[in-house]
Structure 1
């Protein structure tokens, strides 16, 4: 009997140990470790060119739980020196976390926002960590204070727009054309058609200020914050395709006139294409207005072959873009005997993009996801439910499983910015393609919990919802 009791006690102890959470186990035996904070740097001069890099790491010891085996939670405080921590920046890293890091951008924003510092002016700060033990009659521990200094910067805009009579927007600032942020902080690019006329840059579409205008040379830019300042736009006298590169940190701009694509129209023909081999009705690709070298087709493709003629001449003697490999193409010259085509193995809804500048091609079949309060994952779009693609028809997507009363819709990816295309409700049995950024937000609604079979067809734009 004693042996059985001993075994039972051991099993209970094991069950208790395995039932503990990992962060609780980590706090079981902290001993008498004193709480101390160290910094990776004591003097920081922040520079926006490094805004996405880690600039400061704050590390601390565990402190003690005084033999209670209780969990310890931590609070990191940063205050202006000499204020006695009366109005600190406060962070709560949680249990079993002994480090907090800042990128240059995060630290700059935090210091400027909380302490209202001026760019280029240093501020002396103090930091400490408070450790609280989850047990009665145990006072919080406070680390010794560590001092450091930070010099902040005035951040440049993270958006930039192009407008003026040389552009399709004219001088209507609400129609200003968004430029593309580059990997290097403060830099933006744009490529497209410019007419004779002027242009300048806005930081916010629809607002005249702040803006950037021409400086004392063709390649310099000046920040303009009010109508009283000189307004000097750039002038285009030779219409054509241009590439514009702007660096707001260096206050520079590079404006380059390009040769332009060899063709302004590209078509698709083949047994996989919507109109088959009828070249006189070949499907026209859409030219990207911001990159005239880029042409795209979005729609249904069937199993079969395809290639890209540059016109719809029925004599078949025209130039065509043909397959070099799965991601590259070459220009076939009309009359030559070569005839290399791409193949589609499965019907589906595809996006096919050609770039005449680097002779690349991308071929991607649509995936469909489901998100919403009616779904098991709720509105967590980064974990949205991937619909099951039909075995033979890649335009048909299915879900079978639990749903609850609520709403749902179908994004085409899991991007957490919510700016992607989605299939939304037209009525109970039909849907339409919502374009990312548009204001419409029409969802289907379920009124009962239960198991459902949901089938969406992106070719027919139909949906079937059955409660099982």
Structure 2
């Protein structure tokens, strides 16, 4: 049997199968497009959402009564970004994202906008450009979402913040949350910092060691602090949005935080120039208390206001100064020993 005959027989068989299929499967449904996303859970994360970028505390949406694959949520959204996931616990999971990076959610709202879902890059997110109370609706059957602006957010309730300590962290101290700069407690609710601030951003916290805690922040991101003081004296105490003060002019400042009335005052008290180097002396150092044998600490190459030294320290005390002079100011711990 030659090859032409084989092809002819196969073609006839295929035609017969096709005709039989058309006769016996008249109700066959052809699915055009994405299959429904089958899940019983849906979460959103981002600095626009109530719980920020904490994947362990992601904000849950609720399945609707009419369709378990349509999820809804109503609540406050801040200015910032957001995306959604089916499960918490890993950033490697697929995320639900807008078709176009930075698609805005604002007072105009969105209606039946298509979305996509994938893991990895590009890390596209929705952008909330106007804060408010919103109603969100995600249709996982048809891969569409809608966002409706409901009203303005409620004004924050100002309850006095009881704290044993207050710290500031920012560009001026290298964003070191394990060792932020502690303020001096003047009374039950008044805390004061007086010292150098470099250009950059800053916020305040009650505890060390975690970025997931609530922070004291300006009401709007980028609130200026300069020679004229602080642009707006009110602050908020929240996990999100991640608003920060912006130090426009480096210098010596006096910052006063009032935790009872949720206000901040800033006073520019003088120019500040970074020290060329620091000198460390004390019985814990190799040179003891001798200025001639003082340990020199150089500024970091990444930040001229951060001084780094690594070496061996013995038992005993030490302190540091910008000058080799016992009458000069010293850098000391905020509490003895």
TM-score by length of 1: 0.25
* More strand, by proportion: 1
The TM-score with structure 2 as length reference comes to 0.31
- Which structure's relative contact order is higher, taking Cα pairs within 8 Å and 6+ residues apart? 2
